[in-house]
Amino acid sequence: MTTHTTKQDGARSDEEERSRLVDSISKSLDEWRGRIDELAVQADLAKLDLRELTGKQLDIAQNACLAVHSKLAEARRDAGVSAEALRQGVDQVLRDLQGAFNAAEDVIARGRAG
């Protein structure tokens, strides 16, 4: 096996890994969109004062989804983006999305309890 073939195999392997990662993140993001939409319905049914608080958190979650979509679109176009770079770039945004979603859920739960 030549060095050139080894480099091609390595590049192909990274491209395949990046493609699998993009598909996995896309699926996860679709699931998040569904959860956000469901929570938005609950927020609409919440008391008026809670809607504003919940709405802010949902806006943050929706913006995080848009940021991840942007990163995925960039990764699909740029063959130079490694799977690890993509993973690192998306991880923090997904943590932000999780935090905003949890905060919105907490507001709704407090509203139901109160």
Mind listing the pLDDT tens digit for each residue in 73-97?
887 777 677 778 778 878 888 888 8
Q: Cα–Cα distance between 5 and 11 in angstroms, integer?
A: 10
Task: Please give the pLDDT value at position 83.
Answer: 77
Reply yes or no on whether the pLDDT at 1 is more than 60. Answer: no
Angle, CA of 70, 26 and 69, to the nearest 5°: 10
Q: For 36-43, what is the mean pLDDT? A: 85
How many folded domains does the chain comprise? 1
Q: What is the CATH number of the domain that holds 106?
A: 1.20.120.330
Residue 81 within a domain: yes
Q: Which runs of E-coded beta strand occur in the chain?
A: none
Reply yes or no on whether the pLDDT at 28 is more than 60. Answer: yes
**pTM more than 0.95:** no
Residue 102: give the domain boundaries: 16-113
Residue 2 within a domain: no
Q: For 60-68, what is the mean pLDDT? A: 87
Which is nearest to 83 in space by CA: 26, 24, 18, 15? 18
Residue 83 within a domain: yes
Reply yes or no on whether the pLDDT at 41 is more than 70. Answer: yes
Residue 3 within a domain: no
Reply yes or no on whether the pLDDT at 13 is more than 80. Answer: no
Task: Please give the pLDDT value at position 35.
Answer: 92
Residue 7 within a domain: no
